[in-house]
Each structure stands twice: as structure tokens, then as C-alpha cells.
Structure 1
């Protein structure tokens, strides 16, 4: 944003030079990115009188003039059609430099033009940066001394333009007065006794009965709307002082009314809009949401179709203005306008932002409205503009139109002096803190020991937390004034003694030792892809109000989207064997509250290990992934037998398992799913753009910690009695899984059975159709004595009998008998 140094001095007499004030602005968070000298070329411009004017002998469109510049007479060749004898003109002599409207520098040379000497140039508006006019030279119609400086005629003083790089949250500084408020606080803190001079509006009085009836239908989108009629306005060119103010910040003067609205916008930060009163049907204004597809033509003659979410200002017949964004061609001020309706309002920032983005229309007004303007200052800006227009045109101020919602009000924040000291690592005296805050416009409501209750000024929309107040204190106190510590102090973002930190650290070490690599992905993902994996409803998804792009529109509800993107990125770069894992959070809404879950997700594809001369690795499969999970369970002394295994039924998974335990807070099994292992479906991988099969393991870390804390680990001496192993070769119907068999065995076995495992699966020759062969090993041990064969035979018979009756299982060879 550009500001004028002279303009700033109108409100605050700055006690330091330009370089120092630039450094001060940067130190308080208003970074000065550049400084340009303004109107420097006017040092070389003088008033001259055309004594002679005749046609160029060698060019039809050129004229030769003799110009008296006071000290001497110069011959100048001129191409302007309006140059004539006895005319007062603006002259620049050869050897000097000028800056045009675009800021381009060009040098005037003493030269011959078509054979005739030219010792300077008679200037047009655009050649000296005062406008766009190039049809003719500037004619001075006042009685001005020949040879005097032209700057005096144009009321021009030397000035500098400061380019300030503002962050989007600092809407209060998008104006000259806003910047002066910060400078006032800085100088007050540093011992200067200055006064912030706000232009008075005491002379504002209603002098006319001209009025416009106002009806606000969309009260949420337009909480405040003020307007006033101005009668008998004479539209004409603005005076030089007003033109120069706008030119100093890179704006083009248009006419006195429009120039005043732009001037007050950059003075106060409050956007204004001027309507032609006579173009408002029946003098009735309505603020409402647009009808879908409603047509509207903007001031720059761009025709658009409106959306039903757009807020508009209209009459009973047509749309007059796109609220907070741009006025309409049908209601704008023209040279024929005699009565003006001046608007000052507060529109909902999100509404303006969406409308501006939807129709690709950006303006100085929308830039401020979408970030939040000061609703309390609307009336001051309106009165200030009305008085200026009255001063320039002699109009009468009519009646006001008003609407204001009761929902608008200042915010209050609790501030702790102790917290401030803790955050800064340095104690600033309480009195100093309060003085800084008061100078910034904060009101101290109460001070109770350590807690101070503050009322935040309405122009500070970005301050709503204690940490924001601390930042304000530090900005003015000065970062450089905090003493350097002899010690480096920092507060870790994570408590290294917490159970979760230790769990993550242990898991990381285990996975890295097994050849896995950790990845970190963005928590923002594309909504369309996220829905492929999400079990959450539309209302539970956390969406960004103003996403950077469509690919970063929602917070992830699972770890799969970002993880698969990283897998794809590496696969596309010939990294075919991948073992990656990520710790992260997932986000969703539950009962209108935000919920964050800590997750660990593991992805694999290709070969599980690198080939070597003595061993060839096999491709990743479900059982290798299950082995990774079993390692994790063993590491934290969890038994797979403690889990209920459920076949996965998810739209994104080809097949897989859920590891569930009974939730201690509920009476049913399966509510607490801790581990999920599976293979992504080909359809899902195609949509993501991956051709290779991807296996995954998804772990809920919070539930895993709870399970570890609940596990009752008992230590006992190693048994001194031998174990006995028995094997069974079973013919099993294909519909029966090993999981079913193992679960049944564990339900009926006694304390003698310590382990059961599957060591072979066979289908083919020798096995009847519709069946498969399972070879299962059983390990028995008695902790109190040596087992006898009769004990094992009896146990094996009970197990087989149950399997036979429940699943129609038979022995592949031989027969078991009860002893």
C-alpha cells in the first residue's frame, strides 16, 4: 500500500526525518518496502508566456514558438494543437528530466526537429504526472508571474511515497490515519508529546429534506448501513490539493465527488460509494441477496450474472451496486449528476470475499471489506466525505438513512501480566504495558491483581486473544529493546516424557530398523479424493473458509489421501520398492465440536527387502504387513489373542482385518477398533493415479496407548517342565477361515494349551473339491508338572470334536480317539 509522507503529517507532526520514520514503521510491523520521491520534476518546471507562434516550415502538424520564461526567451518546437500566442504555459528547459504518469524518466534535450532548433518542451498533463491528458498542453488561466515555479500554480509540495507491505490481518493500517495511530503509540512510548489531529466533523448538519428510504433485508450480511443525500451537487474537476493527494498514492483523479470518496477511503480506511440520487427508483434503496442469474453491469461496463449468495444494493427495478465490491454503471455519478446519495456501510467480510472471488472483481473497497473494516467509524467517514463535498461543490446536506444491528460491539480480552512476561522471557513493568495499550486505543475495564480486562478498539479486528495483545505490547515496546539472554531457552513443542511421545519414538525406532522411512504430509487435502476413504458425513468434514486451492480445501479425516500422494510421487520417480510411515492427526466435527485423532499409517509396495546374493526378497503381501503389526504388538507386550479380528468391509479396501477390543466404557465388543490392515482396491488406486498394489496398516495411537496402559503384564519364571507339540492336518470347507478355527480353539481350550499356529495351507490334488487342507501346530505345557500323553490326547480330542461339529471339519489322515 502506498502512503504519502506529507499526508501523514496532516494528522501527526512526525518529529523525525523520512529515513528514521521508515525504520520505525518497519520495527512496529508496518514494513516499508520502498520510498519514492514525488513531484521532483517540478523543480525544473517554470511558467512561460508564448510571445510568438507560427507554423513549422517543414512539418504540417508542428509549430515554432518563442516563449518568455522570465530570464530569457527560448525557441521551442511544439506539436500541440491548442498552443497559441499570449498563452501562459508550463515549460521545462533542455537538460532537465521529467517523470510521466507511469513513473518513467525521460530527459529533455536541446535538439533540432525537422531542421528547427528546440530548446525545451511545453508540457501536457501526462508528461509531468498530473493526469492522463495528452490532447493538448496545459493552459494556465490565472494571473501568474512569468518565470515563476509551476509548482506554486499547482499547489505542489515536495513529497515522498512510502510503499508499505501490510499483512492481511492489519486492516486497521490500510489508511493514513490508521498508520498515524501506530506512530502515535510509538512516539508516546518513547517520550514525545504529540497530538493525533483528526479532521473535525462538528460542522455537519442536515440542511435539506432530500432523503432515500432504506430497507435492509439481509441483516446478517449487512449489519450496518448509513447513507446521506447531498442536494445540488456540481460535478467538476477537483482542486489541485485533492488531485495531488490522490496522485501521490498512485490514484487517478476523476471528478470532485468520486475523488472525495477515494480520498476518505485512504484517509480513514472506510470505503464509501456515491449513487446518483435521481437514478434510484422512487428514492427507495433495498439491501438484499441477489436472485440467481440476475444481470448486473459494473462501473467498468463488465456484464455479469449474479449468484444467489451475492449481496446487492438495488431499487425495486434493478441492481445498483454489488455490495462492498463495485458500483453499477446504471447508478454511478456522471457530469450530469445534481443529487448524490453517499453510502458508508459494514458488509460481512466473508460475503464480500466470496463475491469478489466468484466474479473476479477486485477493488480497493473489496480489499478492505473482505478483511474487516471499522464499523464504528462508518459514521465519521460519511460525515467527513459529506463535508468535503459540500466544501467543494456548495451542496446542501440532506437527510440520513440508517440501519444498525445490535450484534455489533467491541470485543473484550483478559490479559495476564504474568503470561506476558513468560511469553517474552522478560518483565515489562505493568504501568508501561498499560500505557502502551491505552496509546493503541485499548480501554482498560478493570485490573484485578495479575488479570487485566481490556476492551479492544473496533478497528482492530485481528485482536481477540491474549497472545494478540502481547504482540501489540511488544511491537511498540520494541523487539530490539528486549535484552539478549546469556542462555538459550526454549519450550519443547512436545513433552518428551509423555506416554504418546515415548510410544511414537519406540515405534519409529522399530520401523526404521526394519527399513521404513518416515514422511510428513500436509493436513490439507482435496475433498473429492478424501471422500473415497472417509466414513464421516458431509457435515462432519472440516472445510476451510478460504482455501489456497481446491487441492487444499479440507482437513484430512484419514491419513490415506496424503500418504498415497507421497507414494505416487516416489513411484513416478522409479522408486518401486517403498516402505513409508507417517505420524499425524486427522480432523472432523462431532456434536459441533472439533475432534483431532492421533494416527500412525504405514504404506508398502514392491519388494519388502532388497535382494542379495544369498536371498531373494518377495513382494509385499498381506502376511508381511501382518508381520509388521505383530512386531509392534510384541514390542509393547500385547497379545494378538486379546483382539477380536473382524473381516474388513470398507469400500476402499480389497480385503483386510480390523483388530478390535472391548471398549471398557461400553458393553459390546467391536466398538474400539485399534488396528486396520488391508490392500487398497484397484478402483481407488486408479483414481489416485497408482498402478502398483499398495498395502497399508492404520493405527489409532490414542486407543493403543489406552490399551497398553490397561494391559496387566505379569512376570513369572521360565517353566522347568517340558512342552509337548502336536499337529493336526484338517480338511476344512473353503468358506471357513483359519481365523474362525483359531478363535474357536482358544474359546474351548484350557490352561494347558499355550500356543496354536498355522504352518501349512494346501489346495489341489488329493483334496476334494470345495475344501482346503490346514496343518495346525499345538503347543502344550503344564506349569505344575510334566504332561502325560493321555492328557494331551484328551485335550486334542475335545478340540477336534468341537471343530468337527461346528464347521464339518475332518481329519485329512487317520482318526482321533478319546482316551
Structure 2
């Protein structure tokens, strides 16, 4: 959020410098992310009077002017169409710099332009950073003395824009007054005699009988709606002070009415909306839900179709405004508006959030409404804007109209001094606590030696527990004032043998070298999306009390939803071949226990590119992704580990394989079901690998890699084609061979599986290569035959298998 330093000083006389102010804001929780200087040229920008003006002899579009700048008359070449004699202009003399509206700075020098001397620059509003208007030079009204500083004449001085990174819970600080209140409490606690001066509404009164009835049909989405009519106004440009306020925080001035509503929004944090009274049919305001398919044209001329989930402000014929989001083009204030209706309201944040997101419309108003505004400040904001409109636009204020479906109530909290001491680890003086709370607008209803009964300001949605009050006290008291306990000691562990970290980095490098890209998704997601993958699960989702939005309201129970959202994002941008992986954590409740698990998830779709020029690329399939898993196992797991592999089913997959070790599920490999992909809006097959990193790490190779010399002796290969029952798995055969074979067996490879008419329907043929080598000498056939016969006989005893053809004998 952008905050003007000069604007802050309208309410608070800040006794400390800018840097200290920024430090103070950061220490109270309003983190200052940056500061930008505005209007720096006004320190040396002077008013000049054009005493002569004539055509440049060597250029058709240039003029030569003689400008009186007080202590001298300067010759300046100017190219603006509106330059003329006797005009008062803004002048920068040689040796000084200016910063334009784009933030670019340049120094003015005495120079020649087309052969004529130019001793300065006559500026447009854009060239001195006042606005983006560069259509002609800036014309200064009145009869100022030449040489007067422009800033002194137009009441504009150098400003600093403070960029504050607000956390979503601090909705009370989405305004200049909100920021001032925190700064006021901070300064008061540190002994500064400061006074917070807020706008007065005592002069607000009706001088017209004009009134607009209000009818609210949806009390859940509109908890408060009020408005006032103002007649006989004049819509025109805003005065310079108002334009300057808005331009300083990056807003474009429109007209005096719209500018006032924007000003009050950024002053108080309460959004307002102005309607052209004469465009309201039936002279009645109706707050209702839209009809399905009802069309509405926004102020920016965008035509949207509404649904019955959208809240709209209507007259008797049509929608006038998308409630809390944006007004309509037909009822907006224009230069022809003579009478207006000014709205101030409180809408249900969830309703505004859904409408804003669904239609892709985000405004300053919707940003505040969907996070919550102060319902008890609606009247103040309305009166403030009405008085400004009367002052700057003329007219008469009519009668108030108001609807409220909720009583004005304030939360109450019983606060224990002992609890505060326990949390902080030390005792803060009780009077200091009371003073801090009072400076933050907390009302102390009752006070004893041990407790306080506190009424919470209606703007503070984030304060509803005793611990929240402790936080309020501490952020003003100062985190840096916490005493360091002698009992708190910490020594960092410097250990290069962090196997978990090393394994993470090794897997990351391995996957990256195999064409995968790492992604990072938010650990927060929306519950409905997470539930796509766990419909029949006993796991419960962990939901947040105060989420940033409904799309970030739950802690993720799986890595799939975020990963598939990334897949969809890329597919929508014509990136069809994707190999992604992500390290992350999942969170859920199971049997009343909070569970946190570390995961590695791989997602693949599209074309699986070959490893080299001789290997063709092909469409990803189950066996290709299974091959990636095999590489992972070969590279990172103990080769002696007995893995169990079985087919399985789940809510989210067509088919999948489960890799387990000692009854612990380690890896799941599968293809997402059509239902999941349709719900996600994905039209191509997507395959996944889901790894329980804790189990994987538990059985990974912990020892450093050892190297040995490659054997100089040749290997010998024997192939066996074995007939086995279809229920027998190759992995079972491989594990059995490991039990009986000697050190001469170096590897075994399954190179063919056959099922067909040439063998029994209950059998399958497995063709396996056995590779032998002796590292000390060349193997003899008799040694290999003896080994292969021993293996075969053991397999026969275990699986009742046979050779597909011939007999096995030792020569």
C-alpha cells in the first residue's frame, strides 16, 4: 500500500525524521518496503513570467521566449503549443535537476537549440512529476511574483511515498488514518507529546428534503447500507491539493466527485460510491442478488454476465453497481450530473471476494471489502465525503437513508496480567499496558489488580483472543525491548553430514539432469480442490481461521492439486510437454492427531523425449514414468532392499502401483483419472509419482560412494526362458535369486514377457539374462553352468516353474 508522508502529517505532527518514521512503522508491524521521493524539483522550481515570445528563426515548431525569473530575464527555447506572452510558467534553471512522472531524472544545462541559446527549461506537469499530462506546459494561475518557488505558490512541497507491505489481518491499516493511529501510539509510548487530529463532522446537516428509499433483500451479504442525496452540484476538475493527494499515491484524478470518494477511501479505509441520482429509475435503491444470465456493463465498458451469487445495487429496472466491486457505466457520475446519491456500506467479505475473483475485477474498493472494513465507520466516511462535495461541488445535502441488519456491538476480552507476563517472560508496568491499549482505541471497561475487561475497536477484526491483546501491547512496547534471558542459549550445529539435505539436493540434481523442472506451490490451497484426491480418505483437512482468501483457506493434504494447477497453467500457454517435480509438505488430521509429511511429487504429460539422438521421443505412458522410478531406486536406495510392489486403486487414479518396504508405503506411481482431470480442466493424460520422503530417506544409501577399478575380465551371460504361473512376480524371482546366488552373479535383466497361444493360459514366460563375472580371473563355462543350475533348481523349488524349452544340465 502506498502512503504519502505529507498526507500523514495532515493528521499527526510527526516529531521524528523520515527514516525514524519508517523504522517506527516497521516495528509496529507495518513493514516499510521502500520509500520514493516526489516533487524534489520543487526545491528549485521557480515561477517565471513570459515577457516576450516569438517564432524560432530556424524551426517551425519552436518558440524563443524571454522569461522573467525574478532576479534576471532568461532566454529559453520552448516547443509547447500553449506558450504565449504574459503567461506564468514553471522554470528550471541551468544546474538543477528534475524528475519526471516516469521517475527519470535529468540535469538542465545551458545549451543551443537550432542555433539559439536556451538558458533553462519551461516545464509541463509531466516533466516535474506532478502528473502524466505532457500536453503543453504547466500554466500557473493568479498573479505571482516572478522568482517565487512554485511549491510555495501552489501549496505543493516535496513528498515521500512510503510503500507498506500490509499483512492480511491488518485491515484497519488500509488507510492513512489507520497508519497514523499506529504511529501515534508508538510515539506516545516513547514520550512524544503528539496529538492525533481527525476530520470533524460536526457541520454535517441536511438542507434539502431529497431522499432515496433503500430496500435490502439479502441481509446476509449486505449487513449495512446507507446513503445521502446531494442536489444542485457542479462536476468539474478537482482543486490542485486534491489532485496532488491522489497523484502522490498513483491515482489518476477524474473529477471532483470521483476524486473525493477516492480521497475518503484512502483517508478512512471505507469505500464509497457515487450514483447519478437522475439515472436511478423509480427513485429507489434495491440491494439484491442478480438473476442468472443478467447482463451488466461496468464503468470500464466491460459487459459481464451475472449469476445469482453476485450481489448488485439496483433501481427498479436494472443493476446500477456490482456491489463492493465496480459501478455501472449508465449510472456513473459525468460532467452532466447535477444530483447524486452517495453510498456507504458494509458487504459480506466472502460474497465480494467470490464476485471479484469470478469476474476478474479487482479494485481498491473490492480489495478492502473482501478483507473487511469498519462497519461502524460507514457513517463517518459518508459524512466526510458529503461535506467535501458540498465544499468543492456546491449543492445541498439531503436526508440520510439507512439499513442495518446487525446491531453495533463490540467484542469484549478479559485480559490477565499474569497471562501477559507468562507469554512475554517478563513484567510490563500495568499503567504502561493500559496507556498502550488506550492509545490504540481499546476501551478499558473494568480494571482490577489482576485483570482488565477490554472492548475491542470494531476495525480490529484480527483481535479476538487474549493472546492477540498481548501482541498489541508488545508491538507498541517494542520487540527490541524484550530482555534477553540468561537461560536461553543456542549453539548452531555445524555438520557437513546432513544426509537429509544432501539427499534432497542429490535427487534434485538427478531429476533436473533427466529433464525435470522443479516447481514450488503454496502450502495453502482451497479445500474443495484438495478433496478431489481424498474422497474416501479418513484424513481431515486443517482449515485456517483467517485465510488470505478462500483459495488459500486450507493446508494442503496432498501435492497433486497445486501440481495439476501448474500443469493447467502451462497447457493454457501452449506448453504441452511437461516434466515437473516438487519437494514439499502435506498436513492433515488422522485419528485426532495432526500429521505432517514430507513428499516428493513428480508430474509428467505430453512427449517424453529420448535420452539421445538414437532414442525416439514418445508419448508419455505408465511404463516410461515407472522407468523414472526405477532409476531413482537404482541411484538412491540400498540395492539389497526388498521392495514390495503391488497394484492398487485410489480415488484419483485410473491405476497405480504401490512400492512398499517393511509394510511402509514409500512410492505411488499412477495415472490420474478422467474425473480428476476433467475437474481440473486438463484434456491430456497426466502421470504422477508420489514419494514419502521420510520413508525414502530412511532406506536411502547413507554411506559415501566408493569407487573401485573396473574388472579387466570379461562377463558371461546366460539366458533362461522360464514358464511360471501368472501370479508370480518378477521381483519375487529376483529376490529369491539373491538368496542363493554367489558373488559371481553381477546382474539379472528381464528382457521379455510372453503370454499367448503357445503356452498355457494360466502361465507366462519370463526371459531373463543372468550376467556373471569373476573379478580375479576369467570364468570357465563349468563355473557358470554350475551357478546357473543352482539358481534354476532353487527357483523350481520355490515357484514350481520350468524351462519353456529344453533341459538344463551341467556339461
| TM-score past 0.5 threshold | yes
Secondary structure of 1:223's match? Answer: strand
**Greater shift in the superposed pair: 189-198 or 540-549:** 540-549
Q: Which residue of 2 aligns with 1:327?
A: 327
Deviation at 1:36?
2.9
Structure 1 residues 129, 411: closer, same or farther in 2, change over 3 A?
A: same
Checking the alignment, whether the CA contact within 8 Å between 1:228 and 1:399 is kept in structure 2 is yes
Structure 1 residues 453, 119: closer, same or farther in 2, change over 3 A?
A: same
Checking the alignment, whether the CA contact within 8 Å between 2:524 and 2:555 is kept in structure 1 is yes
Q: Which residue of 2 aligns with 1:342?
A: 342
1:425-478 CA-partner distances (Å, limit 9, x unpaired): 112133322221122111223346644332110111111122211110100111
Q: Which residue of 2 aligns with 1:384?
A: 384
Q: Which residue of 2 aligns with 1:802?
A: none
Checking the alignment, whether the CA contact within 8 Å between 2:212 and 2:285 is kept in structure 1 is yes
Deviation at 1:119?
1.5
Deviation at 1:178?
0.9
Q: Which residue of 2 aligns with 1:503?
A: none
User: Looking at CA atoms only, which structure, 1 or 2, has the larger radius of gyration?
Assistant: 1
Structure 1 residues 446, 59: closer, same or farther in 2, change over 3 A?
A: same
Structure 1 residues 374, 650: closer, same or farther in 2, change over 3 A?
A: closer
Q: Which residue of 2 aligns with 1:191?
A: 191
Structure 1 residues 258, 457: closer, same or farther in 2, change over 3 A?
A: same
Checking the alignment, whether the CA contact within 8 Å between 1:373 and 1:459 is kept in structure 2 is yes
The reply to whether residue 586 of structure 1 matches residue 584 of structure 2 is no
Deviation at 1:319?
1.9
Question: What is the CA–CA distance in structure 2 between the aligned matches of 1:41 and 1:563, rounded to whole Å?
Answer: 51
Checking the alignment, whether the CA contact within 8 Å between 1:523 and 1:555 is kept in structure 2 is yes
Checking the alignment, whether the CA contact within 8 Å between 1:608 and 1:619 is kept in structure 2 is no
Question: What is the CA–CA distance in structure 2 between the aligned matches of 1:649 and 1:251, rounded to whole Å?
Answer: 53
The reply to whether residue 155 of structure 1 matches residue 155 of structure 2 is yes
Question: What is the CA–CA distance in structure 1 between the aligned matches of 2:320 and 2:71, rounded to whole Å?
Answer: 56
Question: What is the CA–CA distance in structure 1 between the aligned matches of 2:462 and 2:360, rounded to whole Å?
Answer: 26
Q: Which residue of 1 aligns with 2:111?
A: 111
Q: Which residue of 1 aligns with 2:474?
A: 474
What does 1:64-79 align with in structure 2 at a 5 Å threshold? 64-79=64-79
Question: What is the CA–CA distance in structure 2 between the aligned matches of 1:211 and 1:391, rounded to whole Å?
Answer: 20
Checking the alignment, whether the CA contact within 8 Å between 1:676 and 1:697 is kept in structure 2 is no
Question: What is the CA–CA distance in structure 1 between the aligned matches of 2:248 and 2:405, rounded to whole Å?
Answer: 37
Checking the alignment, whether the CA contact within 8 Å between 1:606 and 1:620 is kept in structure 2 is no
Structure 1 residues 202, 53: closer, same or farther in 2, change over 3 A?
A: same
Deviation at 1:548?
8.6
Deviation at 1:163?
2.0
1:92-125 CA-partner distances (Å, limit 9, x unpaired): 2233211222222122232222222222222222
Q: Which residue of 2 aligns with 1:373?
A: 373
Question: What is the CA–CA distance in structure 2 between the aligned matches of 1:146 and 1:679, rounded to whole Å?
Answer: 81
Q: Which residue of 2 aligns with 1:218?
A: 218
The reply to whether residue 534 of structure 1 matches residue 503 of structure 2 is no
Structure 1 residues 76, 599: closer, same or farther in 2, change over 3 A?
A: closer
Question: What is the CA–CA distance in structure 1 between the aligned matches of 2:34 and 2:584, rounded to whole Å?
Answer: 44
Q: Which residue of 2 aligns with 1:313?
A: 313
Deviation at 1:558?
8.2
Question: What is the CA–CA distance in structure 1 between the aligned matches of 2:22 and 2:321, rounded to whole Å?
Answer: 38
Checking the alignment, whether the CA contact within 8 Å between 1:110 and 1:120 is kept in structure 2 is yes
Deviation at 1:48?
1.9
Q: Which residue of 2 aligns with 1:707?
A: none
Checking the alignment, whether the CA contact within 8 Å between 2:324 and 2:365 is kept in structure 1 is yes
What does 1:432-451 align with in structure 2 at a 5 Å threshold? 432-447=432-447, 450-451=450-451
Secondary structure of 2:343's match? Answer: strand
Deviation at 1:20?
1.8
1:224-276 CA-partner distances (Å, limit 9, x unpaired): 11111111111112222222222332222222111111111111111111111
The reply to whether residue 420 of structure 1 matches residue 411 of structure 2 is no
Checking the alignment, whether the CA contact within 8 Å between 1:555 and 1:587 is kept in structure 2 is no
Deviation at 1:616?
8.1
Question: What is the CA–CA distance in structure 2 between the aligned matches of 1:600 and 1:59, rounded to whole Å?
Answer: 73
Secondary structure of 1:29's match? Answer: coil
The reply to whether residue 7 of structure 1 matches residue 7 of structure 2 is yes
Checking the alignment, whether the CA contact within 8 Å between 1:188 and 1:194 is kept in structure 2 is yes
The reply to whether residue 171 of structure 1 matches residue 150 of structure 2 is no
Structure 1 residues 413, 68: closer, same or farther in 2, change over 3 A?
A: same
Secondary structure of 1:204's match? Answer: coil
Secondary structure of 2:9's match? Answer: helix
1:37-71 CA-partner distances (Å, limit 9, x unpaired): 33221222222222222222222222222222222
Structure 1 residues 465, 82: closer, same or farther in 2, change over 3 A?
A: same
Structure 1 residues 685, 249: closer, same or farther in 2, change over 3 A?
A: closer
Structure 1 residues 296, 562: closer, same or farther in 2, change over 3 A?
A: closer
Q: Which residue of 2 aligns with 1:798?
A: none
Checking the alignment, whether the CA contact within 8 Å between 1:446 and 1:454 is kept in structure 2 is yes
**Greater shift in the superposed pair: 295-304 or 335-344:** 295-304
Question: What is the CA–CA distance in structure 2 between the aligned matches of 1:521 and 1:394, rounded to whole Å?
Answer: 54
What does 1:635-654 align with in structure 2 at a 5 Å threshold? none
Deviation at 1:479?
0.9
Secondary structure of 1:304's match? Answer: strand
Deviation at 1:620?
2.8
Question: What is the CA–CA distance in structure 2 between the aligned matches of 1:48 and 1:561, rounded to whole Å?
Answer: 65
Checking the alignment, whether the CA contact within 8 Å between 1:685 and 1:691 is kept in structure 2 is no
1:314-355 CA-partner distances (Å, limit 9, x unpaired): 212222111111122111111111112111111111222222
Deviation at 1:220?
1.0
Deviation at 1:541?
6.6
Deviation at 1:298?
1.8
What does 1:738-777 align with in structure 2 at a 5 Å threshold? none
Structure 1 residues 607, 171: closer, same or farther in 2, change over 3 A?
A: closer
Deviation at 1:194?
2.7
**Greater shift in the superposed pair: 525-534 or 400-409:** 525-534
1:532-579 CA-partner distances (Å, limit 9, x unpaired): 5532699x87777998999988656789999999xxxxxx9999xxxx
Structure 1 residues 694, 559: closer, same or farther in 2, change over 3 A?
A: closer
Secondary structure of 1:351's match? Answer: helix
Question: What is the CA–CA distance in structure 2 between the aligned matches of 1:249 and 1:380, rounded to whole Å?
Answer: 23
Secondary structure of 1:146's match? Answer: coil
Question: What is the CA–CA distance in structure 2 between the aligned matches of 1:74 and 1:226, rounded to whole Å?
Answer: 58
Structure 1 residues 246, 574: closer, same or farther in 2, change over 3 A?
A: closer
Structure 1 residues 489, 295: closer, same or farther in 2, change over 3 A?
A: farther
Q: Which residue of 1 aligns with 2:136?
A: 136
Question: What is the CA–CA distance in structure 2 between the aligned matches of 1:582 and 1:49, rounded to whole Å?
Answer: 67
Unaligned runs of 5+ in 1: 491-507, 509-519, 566-571, 576-580, 626-646, 657-674, 699-733, 736-768, 771-819
Question: What is the CA–CA distance in structure 2 between the aligned matches of 1:559 and 1:362, rounded to whole Å?
Answer: 29
Question: What is the CA–CA distance in structure 2 between the aligned matches of 1:185 and 1:36, rounded to whole Å?
Answer: 25
Question: What is the CA–CA distance in structure 2 between the aligned matches of 1:558 and 1:395, rounded to whole Å?
Answer: 60
Checking the alignment, whether the CA contact within 8 Å between 1:54 and 1:63 is kept in structure 2 is yes
Secondary structure of 1:11's match? Answer: coil
What does 1:640-719 align with in structure 2 at a 5 Å threshold? none
Question: What is the CA–CA distance in structure 2 between the aligned matches of 1:420 and 1:164, rounded to whole Å?
Answer: 29
Deviation at 1:138?
2.5
Question: What is the CA–CA distance in structure 2 between the aligned matches of 1:600 and 1:46, rounded to whole Å?
Answer: 65
Question: What is the CA–CA distance in structure 1 between the aligned matches of 2:95 and 2:650, rounded to whole Å?
Answer: 85
Deviation at 1:209?
1.4
Structure 1 residues 598, 553: closer, same or farther in 2, change over 3 A?
A: closer
Deviation at 1:300?
2.0
Checking the alignment, whether the CA contact within 8 Å between 2:535 and 2:651 is kept in structure 1 is no
Unaligned runs of 5+ in 2: 491-499, 501-519, 566-577, 602-625, 678-684, 696-725, 728-760, 763-811
Structure 1 residues 65, 228: closer, same or farther in 2, change over 3 A?
A: same
Deviation at 1:621?
3.0
Question: What is the CA–CA distance in structure 1 between the aligned matches of 2:38 and 2:585, rounded to whole Å?
Answer: 56
Q: Which residue of 1 aligns with 2:644?
A: 621
Checking the alignment, whether the CA contact within 8 Å between 1:610 and 1:617 is kept in structure 2 is no
Alignment coverage as a number of residue pairs: 620
Deviation at 1:139?
2.5
Deviation at 1:609?
9.6
Tell me the C-alpha RMSD between the 2 structures.
4.6
What does 1:196-595 align with in structure 2 at a 5 Å threshold? 196-406=196-406, 409-447=409-447, 450-488=450-488, 530-535=531-536, 586-587=588-589
Deviation at 1:292?
2.2
Structure 1 residues 484, 132: closer, same or farther in 2, change over 3 A?
A: same
Question: What is the CA–CA distance in structure 1 between the aligned matches of 2:455 and 2:316, rounded to whole Å?
Answer: 41
